[in-house]
């Protein structure tokens, strides 16, 4: 499970960080070099989920919840937008879903 959580964290950092660099180029008028770096990081993001020990649909469904957490943390630390109670509650609901999707024992219910 630790390895899987690491891959989720790495994928999130790559996707959000790469996307942010492209955002800075397009929306903030920063250097095209940031966009190129962002695109390279986004390509790494495309590879990282393949390292997960589950099938594609399950990995990407669960990653959605992790992405929500990491996006809120990114916004809080980088953009200085503090998550409110509804952000936290919504995120917790999603993370419970991540746990069920990725780590629940499989077999008949």
pLDDT tens profile 13-40: 999 999 999 999 999 999 999 999 999 9
Give yes or no for residue 80 having a pLDDT over 70.
yes
pLDDT recorded at residue 104: 87
Query: Rounded to two decimals, what is the model's pTM?
Result: 0.80
Q: Work out the mean pLDDT of the chain and round it to a whole number.
A: 92
Please report the DSSP string for the chain in residue order: -HHHHHHHHHHHHHHHHHHHHHHHHHHH---HHHHHHHHHHHHHHHHGGGGSSS-HHHHHHHHHHHHHHHHHHHHHHTS-----HHHHHHHHHHHHHHHHHHHSPPS--
């Amino acid at each position: 499970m630790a390895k899987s959580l690491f891959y989720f964290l790495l994928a999130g950092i790559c996707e959000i960080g790469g996307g942010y660099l492209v955002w800075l180029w397009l929306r903030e008028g920063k250097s095209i070099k940031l966009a190129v770096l962002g695109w390279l990081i986004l390509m790494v993001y495309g590879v990282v989920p393949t390292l997960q020990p589950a099938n594609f649909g399950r990995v990407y469904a669960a990653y959605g919840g992790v992405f929500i957490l990491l996006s809120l943390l990114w916004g809080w630390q980088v953009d200085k937008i503090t998550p409110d109670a509804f952000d936290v509650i919504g995120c917790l609901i999603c993370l419970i879903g991540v746990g069920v999707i990725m780590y629940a024992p499989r077999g008949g219910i």
